Amino acid sequence: MPIISGKEISAQIREELKSEVEDLKSHGIHPCLAVVLVGKDPASEIYVRNKKRTCEKLGIRSIGYDLNEDTTQEKLEDLIQTLNRDSQVNGILCQFPLPGDLNEEYVILKIAPDKDVDGLHPMNAGLLAMGRPKFISCTPFGVLQLLKRSKCDTRGKHVVVLGRSNLVGRPVSALLSQKGLDATVTVCHSRTQNLKEMTKQADILIAAIGKPEFVTGDMVKEGAVVIDVGTNRVDDANHPKGYRLCGDVLFAEVEPKASKITPVPGGVGPMTIAMLMYNTVNAARIQNGLGPLTTS
């Protein structure tokens, strides 16, 4: 079976977390995620709703803070500070993008690194870069789990990462070249020369550049593992909604060459919320003096 199903793997992780939460509760520990939403962006509202709903299914408490779009930076940061100090709250998630002139960077810096379950604080990026991650940001962590749980050994393999974003490209590169994972990692980006020469070398190709169907069949080595992080909307009059979702990989061309490949949707996407839940449960464990979760 060449398809790596993020749907199935994320379901498996959620099941494991559900048991873990039950176990924690039986010891009087109730994992809790604070979810901060500013304004009324419809996409953000959907993301937030999904996150809260997943919390509920797993027995994790979620507390929503819905702020008006005219909230000031100061008020938002004050709320974060209050949540930092609230011992009932294990993890803090602030849904991005923020509306108007609100500064996301300052918000990230305000979140206590110990509660930064999104793994966006420089402290957590640094711990990851230094090979001793605490909270790995959710998308790179999801990519790692897809590889691990579909038995794709990374050791000694050449991983080529397309994209150098702070959300995906950079952390996933740091992660996979760590001791134990031991991949040889190349980071490519818009300025890379001879891109095809690079991507064709990849034993594992991770596409995270946000360009619809950018990776074509001729860019991929026969037998490569392909992880498609992209989620792009492209206009399509043949679809009832007038658009369709696609990844950064031209699936129809690449799938026949790949030994394993993630689809879009149903690949990396569903992993992100699962790993947010993982980080929240982990935060609850650590804050209660238990060791961190160890995932397979």
Q: Which residues are at the interface with its own copies (CB under 8 A)? A: 121-131, 155-158, 164, 166, 170-171, 173-174, 177-179, 182, 184-189, 191-193, 198
Active site residue 157: no
From the CB of 190, what's the least distance to its own copies, in Å? 8
From the CB of 212, what's the least distance to its own copies, in Å? 22
In the complex with its own copies, the residue whose CB is nearer, 170 or 260, is 170
From the CB of 160, what's the least distance to its own copies, in Å? 9
From the CB of 200, what's the least distance to its own copies, in Å? 12
Active site residue 81: no
Active site residue 51: yes
How far apart are alpha carbons 267 and 3 in whole angstroms? Answer: 9
From the CB of 141, what's the least distance to its own copies, in Å? 15
Helix crossing, 6-26 with 42-58: angle to 10°? 50
In the complex with its own copies, the residue whose CB is nearer, 203 or 228, is 203
Catalytic residue among 114, 116, 118, 203: 118
How far apart are alpha carbons 104 and 73 in whole angstroms? Answer: 9
In the complex with its own copies, the residue whose CB is nearer, 66 or 182, is 182
Catalytic residue among 52, 95, 145, 203: 95
Task: Report the 3 state secondary structure along the chain.
Answer: CCECCHHHHHHHHHHHHHHHHHHHHHCCCCCEEEEEEECCCHHHHHHHHHHHHHHHHHCCEEEEEEECCCCCHHHHHHHHHHHHHCCCCCEEEECCCCCCCCCHHHHHHHCCHHHCCCCCCHHHHHHHHCCCCCCCCHHHHHHHHHHHHCCCCCCCCEEEEECCCCCCHHHHHHHHCCCCCCCEEEEECCCCCCHHHHHCCCCEEEECCCCCCCECHHHCCCCCEEEECCCEEEECCCCCCCEEEECCECHHHHCCCCCEECCCCCCCHHHHHHHHHHHHHHHHHHHCCCCCCCCC
In the complex with its own copies, the residue whose CB is nearer, 25 or 189, is 189
In the complex with its own copies, the residue whose CB is nearer, 59 or 122, is 122
Catalytic residues: 51, 95, 118
